[in-house]
Amino acid sequence: MLLQLSDFEDIAEFRVLRDGSFATLGLITIPQPAMLVFLEEERFLKRVRALDGLGAVITTPALAKRLDGPYALAQSSNSRRSFFDLHNHLALETEFYWRSHPSEIHPTAEIHPRAWINPTDVRIGRHCRIDANAIVHARVELGRDVIVHSGAVLGTAGLQRMVVDGTVVDLAHAGGVRIEDNVQVLCNAVIAAAVFRQSTTIGAGTRIGNLAYLSHNVQVKERCQIGHGAVISGNSFLGNDVTIGPGSTLTDGIHVGDGAHVTAGATVVRDVESGQRVSSGFAVEHRRYLRFLSTMR
């Protein structure tokens, strides 16, 4: 679905300088075709200019003068607020992101009587099991042989907000959750939906521990193990065969390569290379950390 930027001037309080169409909204750090983005700081100007297939930009009057690409362009006194208002309008009041359909549950799936499945926009595949008090929200898709243990929550909102003139504005989560075959989500784990036209994705064979939290648009490949109480913040990526130790935290947008290991309790603030093992309060290469500890004796 393509929308025309000029149709939303009043709703999002911007002025169109160059009209055109867009297919989705998103952040410049995660490019999508024909995407609408906002730009409020000069330090991101080069990144916007480098985006291929950009649909539209909402920016400040000063930065608008420096954007002359083939995309639609609008200016706003608060480009972030205009972006939030436009997204929330499309997510909450239109079918731009998602067209509703009755939920589909395969007859071989086992759903506990005390589990709650949203009556629309859920797909549950063959031989899945949803235990007592688990909650499956709209826009969640389960492959086959998925087990969702008691108290787990799939497809809820994450935390994405801004403060404008003392008012807190939350960004609606309009995306979904896709869980592939043979995944287990243990008790009281929470997996948030993506924000835009994307899905938080859990790859085949992955195990997610009790009380773990995976935020919006996290991408987890196959056969990963996410320990009890771990927190994976928004837009992070885990390759195949990654281990995330219990109680560890990954900040926004972290990339963890194939076969890497984040030990228990580590706080990861930078990317982890394939096969690397990282440790400590702020995660560093494991052997460096051990050498550092040896100097303290």
- Cα Dmax for the chain: 67
- Adjacent-strand bridge partners of 117: 136
Query: Hey, which bits of 203-247 come out as E strands?
Result: 207-208, 213-214, 219-220, 225-226, 231-232, 237-238, 243-244
User: How many CB atoms within 10 Å of residue 276?
Assistant: 16
Question: Is there a catalytic annotation at residue 216?
Answer: yes
Q: Measure the CA–CA gap between 92 and 126, rounded to whole angstroms.
A: 31
Q: Which of 87, 173, 216, 261 is catalytic?
A: 216
Structure tokens at 20: 């055109």
- Adjacent-strand bridge partners of 237: 219, 255
**Three-class secondary structure assignment of 245-293:** CCCCEECCCCEECCCCEECCCCEECCCECCCCEEECCCCEEHHHHHHHH
Structure tokens at 152: 């787990």
Beta-carbon contacts of residue 218 (< 8 Å; ≥ 6 apart):
191, 192, 200, 201, 232, 233, 234, 235, 236, 237, 238
- H or E segment at 135? strand 135-136
Active site residues: 216
